[in-house]
Every structure is written in C-alpha cells, then in structure tokens.
Amino acid sequence: MFFSFAAIMAIKIFITGGTFDKEYDELNGRLFFKDTHLPEILKLGRCNLEVSVRTLMMIDSLDMKETDRSIILNQCRQCDENKIVITHGTDTMDLTARALGEAGLDKTIVITGALIPYKFGSSDGLFNLGSALAFVQSLPKGVYVAMNGKYFNWNNVRKNKTSGFFEELNHKEKI
C-alpha cells in the first residue's frame, strides 16, 4: 500500500465524546453533547502540527458498546495516517485501548480524555491532549493511554476509581 509522506507525518484525531466534549445545561443541571471543542482547543493551544480531526461519535464512554469500539478500530485501520490520537471518556478507555491493542495495528495510537469538561474552564483535557499529541509523535508503534502527563501501555492500565488517576495494573501502593 502506498502512503504519502504527508499522510505518514500527519496526525489523525478521532473524537468519540466523553467528558472532554460535554457541556452543562444550566436549566436541567445535566451534562450533554453538542459539538466537539477540539478545533477551539487546538487553536487555543497554538497547535502547529498537521492534524486532521474527525468526529466518530459523541457518547459517554459508559454508553459505549462493542459495535462502537468496532467503528473506532475500523477507522484506525482504514485511515492513511500512522499516528492517531483518540479523545475518549475515561471510564472505559482501557477497554477501547485493549480492543485496539489486540488488533495489532502497525500504527501509534494514543487515547486520552478528561475528568473535567473543557467548557468548565479548569479542564485537565488541554494538558492531556497536548501530552497525547507529544506522545503520539515520540512513542513507538503500539497503543497507549495518556493521562495526567503519563502514558501507559494498552494492556497495563486502569483508572483508579478512588483517586481518579490512571495507573498500571501491577501498581502497588507504597507503604
């Protein structure tokens, strides 16, 4: 298969929803999806990378089904770019990472998210997206989860529901 040099250097960003893109409805007190904030975030961060953004879905990761993960996998498989960042809800990003990792694609894929919506103004999403963009350029081919300035291999990560931070599966608490 022929790839252009530009496609190999470009970064594909797939959007799946998650807290990253949620907005707050002041009338009913609920979070909802309207549209992705990624173009605004990239502009705010003065991103100077060649990126292509595509929204695949706008759902909470707790609502994500295997069919949704199949869509994500197929899009990663079919895109020309070999560097991919996926924005995703944090509650099940490890499941999507596993599905992608087990597929053994010959690409570098970094999944990231946020615990606080971008529209709240104090979101960790900006930092996580910036980290993911840096990691996707520097890590070898494989699938990773990037959160809070760290990256984790797809088969050795979990969200600690108590602390809200991601950690390695074989993580041992320091005594």
Task: Please list the pLDDT of the chain residue by residue as tens digits (175 residues).
Answer: 444 445 556 999 999 988 777 666 666 767 656 777 778 778 878 888 999 999 999 888 888 999 999 999 999 999 999 999 999 988 899 999 999 999 999 999 999 998 876 666 777 778 899 999 999 999 999 999 999 999 999 999 988 888 888 889 875 554 4
pTM for this model (two decimals): 0.85
What SS3 string covers the chain? CCCCHHHHHCEEEEEEECHHHEEEECCCCEEEECCCCHHHHHHHCCCCCCEEEEEEEEECHHHCCHHHHHHHHHHHHHCCCCEEEEECCCCCHHHHHHHHHHHCCCCEEEEECCCCCHHHCCCCHHHHHHHHHHHHHHCCCEEEEEECCEEEECCCCEECCCCCCEECCCCCCCC
pLDDT the model gives residue 144: 98
